[in-house]
Amino acid sequence: METNILCYIDRGVGWLKLNRPQALNALSIEMVESLYVTLDTWRADPKVSLICISGEGTKGLCAGGDMRFFYDQRNNNVEEFAQRFFATEYRMDLMIHQYPKPILVYMDGIVMGGGVGLSVGASERIVTEKTKWAMPEMNIGFFPDVGASYFLNQMPGHAGRYLALTGETIQPADVMYIGAANRYMESTLWEEFINEIQKKNWNLHNARKQICELLDSFCSQRVEESPLSVLQSKIDKHFAYETVEEIVTSLGIAADLGDDWAFKTKSIIQSKSPTSLKVTLSQLQKGKNQSLTSCFNMELALSMNFMQNHDFYEGVRSVLVDKDRNPHWRPNSLAEVRKADVESYFHHNINVSNTLL
C-alpha cells in the first residue's frame, strides 16, 4: 500500500514528502501523526543535519487539513478524532517553529491552511511563480488555525486581519511581503537544486551555512512588487477597527465613494459565516500579546468548539461536499452573534494530556 508520507535519510538530509496528490496533499490524521513522529525522531538523530519538506504531484505543497473527514464523522464521535488530529498537528507546527536544525519547505503551487502551518515556522521557505497562499478557513465556517493567532499578528499593519477575514489567496511577492516566505525560486530550478543537495555530505556543524549558500545561488533576489503592499494603507484604514461591523461599515463608506476594492472586500466579508468572522477577529485580538504556545493552546480550544458548530459543517458541505458555494449560515447576520457567544468559543474542557504546554 502506498504511504501518504514518504520519508528517508540520504547523506545527512531528511526528506519528507507529502504523498497524497489526488487530494492536493491534504493532511489526514495518519499523515500528521507520521510527520510529527518523524520530525521528533530526527530532531535528536545525529544522522540528520537538514530537513527538506515538499509535496508530491504538480498541484502544490498542501491544501490544508482534510476537513471533509470531520464532516463525514460528524455523527460518529467526531470530537475524539478532532482532538487527536488538531493536538498532533499543532504540536508538529510548534515543533517546526522551535526546531534546532534547518528545515527547508518548498512552497510550490497550493499552500493553504495546514500547508501554511507546515511552512511558516521553517527556517527556509521557498515560494515559486506558481505559489498560491491562503488561510481560507472563512470559506468553510471555521477559523484560521495552525498558529495564525500568532503569525498573522506579525504581518505588516493589519494585513493579517485582512487575510484572515477575507480568506484571500495571494501570490509569491505577497507571501514574501508578509514574511511567510523568505526565498523565491523559479520552479524549473527545483530538480537541479535537489541534485546539488544530494551531491553534498551534510553535517550538523555547517548545514545552516551550507544551505543558505546553496539557496543564494538558486534564488532570485528580485521579486515583482507585492500587490498587497500597494493596498496596505487601505487595509490599515479599514481593518484597524475592533469589531467586524465597524470594518464592514468603513468598507461600505469607501465603496459608496467609488472604491472598487472596498466594495469587493465588503462583499467577500459579508458572504462569510458571521460567527466565524467574529470569533476570528477576537482570536487575533487575543493572540496579539500571547506567546506562540499560548496561541496554539487557544486554537485547540477553538477547534474543538467548532466541531459542535453548525456553520463549520455547513461550510464544508457547500465547498467540499455539494460544492454549490451556497452556505446557509446560522445565525446569518453579524447582529445576531452576541459577545457571550463569541467568548464561549475560547473555553473548552480539553484533556490536559492534549494541551501543548
pLDDT of the residue at 348 = 78
pLDDT of the residue at 248 = 98
pLDDT of the residue at 224 = 85
One of 12, 55, 114, 287 is an active-site residue; which one?
114
Instruction: Please tell me whether residue 347 adopts helix, strand or coil conformation.
Output: coil
Pair 220, 129: CB distance under 8 Å: no
One of 145, 174, 299, 311 is an active-site residue; which one?
145
- 109 is annotated as an active-site residue: no
pLDDT of the residue at 352 = 44
CB atoms inside a 10 Å sphere around CB 27: 32
Domain count, the chain: 1
Pick from 50, 330, 94: nearest CA to 215 = 50
Q: Going by DSSP bridges, is the β-strand pair 50-55/103-107 parallel, antiparallel, or unpaired?
A: parallel
d(CA 107, CA 141): 25
One of 66, 93, 124, 137 is an active-site residue; which one?
137
What is the grid cell recorded at 352? 490536559
d(CA 119, CA 97): 9
pLDDT in tens, the chain (357 residues): 469 999 999 999 999 999 999 999 999 999 999 999 999 999 999 999 999 999 999 999 999 999 999 999 999 999 999 999 999 999 999 999 999 999 999 999 999 999 999 999 999 999 999 999 999 999 999 999 999 999 999 999 999 999 999 999 999 999 999 999 999 999 999 999 999 999 999 999 999 999 999 999 999 977 789 999 999 999 999 999 999 999 999 999 999 999 999 999 999 999 999 999 999 999 999 999 999 999 999 999 999 999 999 999 999 999 999 999 999 999 999 999 999 999 999 997 665 455 555
d(CA 263, CA 150): 29
Which structural domain range is residue 167 located in? 1-357
- 145 is annotated as an active-site residue: yes
d(CA 29, CA 266): 35
Pick from 96, 93, 118: nearest CA to 300 = 93
The domain spanning residue 81 has which CATH number?
Answer: 3.90.226.10
Q: What DSSP line would sit under 43-57, residue for residue? A: HT-TT-SEEEEEESS
pLDDT of the residue at 222 = 73
Q: What DSSP line would sit under 256-323, residue for residue? A: HTT-HHHHHHHHHHHTS-HHHHHHHHHHHHHHTTS-HHHHHHHHHHHHHHHTT-HHHHHHHIIIIIS-
Is residue 18 packed enough to be buried (19+ CB in 10 Å), middle (13-18) or exposed (0-12)?
buried
Cis peptide before 136 (omega within 30 of 0): no
Pick from 308, 321, 312: nearest CA to 348 = 308
pLDDT of the residue at 355 = 59
DSSP annotation of 328 reads: -
One of 12, 60, 64, 65 is an active-site residue; which one?
65
